[in-house]
Amino acid sequence: MTNRPQVLRTVTALRRAMAPYRKAGQSKSGFGIALVPTMGALHAGHLKLVAEAKKRARRVVVSIFVNPTQFAPTEDFGSYPRTFETDMKALTALKVDAVWAPTAAEMYPEGFATRVAPEGAALAGLEDKFRPHFFGGVATVVTKLFTQVSPDFAMFGQKDYQQLRVVTQMAKDLDLPLKVIGIPTVREKDGLALSSRNVYLSDAERAVAPTLHRVLKASAQRIKRGEPIEMVMEEGASDIRHAGFALDYLEARHALSLKPIASVKDGPIRLLVAAKIGKTRLIDNLGV
Ligand code: PAF
């Protein structure tokens, strides 16, 4: 019989549950604790993070918390998909040890007054330009998740590439004793990056959604061949708009600092895109 992961709802219960995990993790046969932070509505991309976590750590904790502080009042916090029982079935099948699922009142109790304000990659003019509140909310909740669970590893998808850079730098800057690990994006057969928000797409929108990956792939090949970055980005932007998207950005950036980059000679390049199809905002990225 498969055991359901234990579900922890309070910081006290979480700490109590983590103590034996930590001891087991320090034994010769163990490699500590890995945390997979999520907002639930789990898809194959999340399950890949869990599978990678299991390769590295003896105990795997998945957090499920739809974090209100990273949504603007105009965004989809209320309608964000919440599928706890289905998520639990998937995590049970993967033999996850524990699910950390606090309420908003447990995470942000009455009187909560502290915020982590990341700079650097968090102010790169990409997601932050369109969602100015986003990285403050993410950095605050991720810092809390890290201090609550005290994992040795934390797994993040490369799909949210700017978030991965921000969290990696934050863990370093705050001397948090864990390794942040970025895991490649899982895609549908036609290239569309898996995302909990893909459920919002109508059939017609779903049909054009893979344009983003197609343009990223073609642009990366052209830049590798030596074509001028600015021209490649302009033509890529035009293809995305012609497909029916409202484009927020298509940018070539330094893969680590996320600063603008003019040539392949100036360092590794990451192409990043965000665009709206109908009411759904999609993001994606690709290394050159
Ligand atoms: O990527 C997400 O799902 C969220 O931003 C995270 C990291 C779980 C923080 O709420």
Residue with CA at minimum distance from ligand 1 atom 3: 38
188 occurs within a structural domain:
no
Residue 22 is predicted with a pLDDT of 82
The residue annotated as part of the active site, out of 46, 213, 242, 254, is 46
Clarify whether residues 155 and 17 are in a common domain. yes
Q: Band of the pLDDT at 23, cuts 50, 70, 90?
A: confident
Residue 114: count other Cβ atoms within 10 Å of its Cβ. 8
Clarify whether residues 169 and 272 are in a common domain. no
189 occurs within a structural domain:
no
Clarify whether residues 87 and 141 are in a common domain. yes
Lowest mean pLDDT among 26-30, 43-47, 90-94, 142-146: 26-30
Collapse the DSSP code of 253 into the 3-class scheme (helix H, G, I; strand E, B; otherwise coil) and give the result: strand
CA of 273 to the centre of ligand 1 (A): 18
Q: Is 141 in the pocket of ligand 1 (CB under 6 A)?
A: yes
CA of 43 to the centre of ligand 1 (A): 14
Residue 17 region by backbone torsions, left for phi larger than 0, else alpha for psi between -120 and 50, else beta: alpha
190 occurs within a structural domain:
no
Clarify whether residues 131 and 240 are in a common domain. no
- Domain of residue 240 covers 196-287
Contacts of 21 (CB under 8 A, 6+ apart): 33, 58, 59, 61, 97, 98
Last residue of a domain, one of 183, 209, 235: 183
Clarify whether residues 160 and 237 are in a common domain. no
Q: Band of the pLDDT at 71, cuts 50, 70, 90?
A: very high
Q: What is the pLDDT of the chain when averaged over all its residues?
A: 96
25 occurs within a structural domain:
yes
Clarify whether residues 105 and 27 are in a common domain. yes
Clarify whether residues 146 and 241 are in a common domain. no
| 46 belongs to the catalytic site | yes
Ligand 1 atom nearest to CA at 167:
7
Q: Band of the pLDDT at 1, cuts 50, 70, 90?
A: low
Mean pLDDT of 56-85: 96
Cα separation, 184 vs 156, in Å, equals: 9
Q: What is the pTM of this model?
A: 0.96
191 occurs within a structural domain:
no
For the chain, the domain total comes to 2
CA of 5 to the centre of ligand 1 (A): 20
Clarify whether residues 117 and 20 are in a common domain. yes
Ligand 1 atom nearest to CA at 70:
10
